[in-house]
Amino acid sequence: MSSTIKSYGVWIAAALLLLLLPYVFPAGASLTTMCLMGIMIIFALSYNMLLGQTGMLSFGHAVYYGLAAFVTAHTMNWAAKSGYPIPLPLIPVAGAATGLFFGIVFGWVSTKRGGTAFAMISLGLAELVYSSSLILRSFFGGEEGISADRTKLLRIFGYNFGPQLQVYYLIAFWTLLCVILMYAITRTPLGRMCNAVRENPERVEFVGYNPQFVRFIAFSLAGLFAGVAGSLAAINIELAQASFVGAGQSGAVLLAAYIGGVAFFVGPVLGAVLVTLLSIRLSDFSEIWLLYFGILFITVILFAPYGLSGLLMMHAQFWRGPLGSKIARLGKLFGAYIVALIPALIMIAGAILLIEMIHHVAQKGAEGANMHFLRRNYLTVNTHTVLPWVGGAVAMIGGFFAFRFTWPTVANAWHNALIDAQRSGK
């Protein structure tokens, strides 16, 4: 009984959080950001049904997202024009059906093989759909895409979904629903066989299952949820564009899932939130934010292969014993982290300064010697003087060695926390 309360409790808490977030962050920009986060959460989790759960690396997941967005835009226009009584909150069903349909069609072809062959086929299909989007102008609308007006549909309870807040709640509802469903699927016979296929597809054949069919169903369902995400994206900006089916969108979802961590269900949720936030906010600080994004991705792959959720879960083993000792133990550990974080930040700041100056000199030399570091006017740097170059280099190199110097402190703190946790038993 208590486990039932526990498992539902998470969802009730999530629902409350989604309900209250607009009161905590009421600004228009925040609402927009949160809408994009919700869409990305669904998209990244659907991607992880393939990558994390079933071990299928897809380079073309945006196909299902994007096609669903276009069908959604057409459906909205058709409903508005014909006057059929279809309210906006039900429109994502059309996106889900589109995603499922194309998941079945393309999945039938691509899931015959796993591993590298699957990855290559997904890339080929993505290219195929993207190039079609430039050719089939009546469906994809060419460069402008297909726009739609979400306020022209049947109103329910007087809501016309013009204000962003109403769209936020529409997206929040679908996000929660999809997250719950995708979580539930991991706990079914199919969900567990997906894990088995990821681990050892050959052995699966000898316990009565066809691994290709497991992949096929997983792929179709991933298409369905990607379709919901794409549909919400079209509702959110009242537009579907060719870039929705493009390689950039497929890459973004891979990044989100990987940075969050594919080994845990919650990983892609964290990844989606972070990646959305970064892709919106980083451009306020730098023109070449995509470069930093790439560096972050490489850093995660190299040093935290299980992503953010993996890093968090590594600390679960310290959460033992009485509350006071738990907090003291983690407090000591985080103290050591902060000691290491300071030189790390100095190193990063130095590196960013150098990169930005190189970018300024190479790309914007005509604008003169002065550069606004991080796009802040109060951080004006003269790139024609020696000092900032030397300063950047010293900060980067010095920070690196100082970071190396603090590393044993972190390792020690980790070791001590581990011993302490083991002593305090279960």
Q: Which class for 374: exposed (0-12), middle (13-18), buried (19 or more C-beta within 10 A)?
A: middle
**How far is 136 from 169, CA to CA, in rounded Å?**
34
Q: Which of residues 196 and 277 has its CB atom nearest to other proteins in the complex?
A: 196
Q: Which of 28, 90, 200, 404 binds other proteins (CB under 8 A)?
A: 200
Q: Which of residues 188 and 317 has its CB atom nearest to other proteins in the complex?
A: 188
Q: Does residue number 203 form part of the binding site for other proteins (CB under 8 A)?
A: yes
Nearest to 174 by CA among 254, 244, 241, 93: 93
Nearest to 44 by CA among 230, 208, 207: 230
The least distance separating other proteins from the CB of residue 193, rounded to whole angstroms, comes to: 6
Q: Does residue number 195 form part of the binding site for other proteins (CB under 8 A)?
A: yes
Count Cα neighbours of 423 within 13 Å in the Cβ-side half-sphere: 9
The residues facing 380 across adjacent strands are 372
Q: Which stretch binds other proteins (CB under 8 A): 15-23, 150-158, 193-201, 233-241?
A: 193-201
Q: How many CB atoms lie within 10 A of CB 255?
A: 22
Q: Which of residues 131 and 210 has its CB atom nearest to other proteins in the complex?
A: 210
Secondary structure (DSSP) of 255-275: HHHHHH-SSSTTHHHHHHHHH
Q: Which stretch binds other proteins (CB under 8 A): 19-27, 197-205, 308-316, 418-426?
A: 197-205
Q: Which of 67, 204, 254, 256 binds other proteins (CB under 8 A)?
A: 204
Q: Which stretch binds other proteins (CB under 8 A): 34-42, 93-101, 194-202, 282-290?
A: 194-202
The least distance separating other proteins from the CB of residue 50, rounded to whole angstroms, comes to: 15
Q: Which of 112, 137, 155, 187 binds other proteins (CB under 8 A)?
A: 187
Q: Does residue number 217 form part of the binding site for other proteins (CB under 8 A)?
A: yes
Q: Which of 10, 84, 134, 210 binds other proteins (CB under 8 A)?
A: 210
Collect all residues with Cβ–Cβ distance below 8 Å to 205 and sequence separation of at least 6. 211
The least distance separating other proteins from the CB of residue 195, rounded to whole angstroms, comes to: 6
Q: Which residue has the tokens 């907090």?
A: 327
Q: Which residue has the tokens 């199919």?
A: 190
Query: Would you state the structure tokens that stand for residue 80, as one six-digit string?
Result: 């508005």
**How far is 301 from 273, CA to CA, in rounded Å?**
18
| Residue 413 near residue 335 (C-beta atoms within 8 A) | yes
Residues 320-379, interacting with other proteins (CB under 8 A): none
Q: How many residues does the chain have?
A: 426
| C-alpha dihedral sign at 80, 81, 86, 92 | negative
Q: Does residue number 192 form part of the binding site for other proteins (CB under 8 A)?
A: yes
Q: Which of 21, 57, 104, 190 binds other proteins (CB under 8 A)?
A: 190
Q: Does residue number 207 form part of the binding site for other proteins (CB under 8 A)?
A: yes
The least distance separating other proteins from the CB of residue 388, rounded to whole angstroms, comes to: 49
Strand pairing class (370-372; 380-382): antiparallel
Q: Which of residues 25 and 213 has its CB atom nearest to other proteins in the complex?
A: 213
- Type of residue numbered 314: M
Collect all residues with Cβ–Cβ distance below 8 Å to 406 and sequence separation of at least 6. 339, 340, 343
Q: Does residue number 262 form part of the binding site for other proteins (CB under 8 A)?
A: no
The least distance separating other proteins from the CB of residue 53, rounded to whole angstroms, comes to: 12
Q: Which of 56, 129, 185, 371 binds other proteins (CB under 8 A)?
A: 185
Binding site for other proteins (CB under 8 A): 184-185, 187-193, 195-196, 199-200, 202-210, 213-214, 217, 221
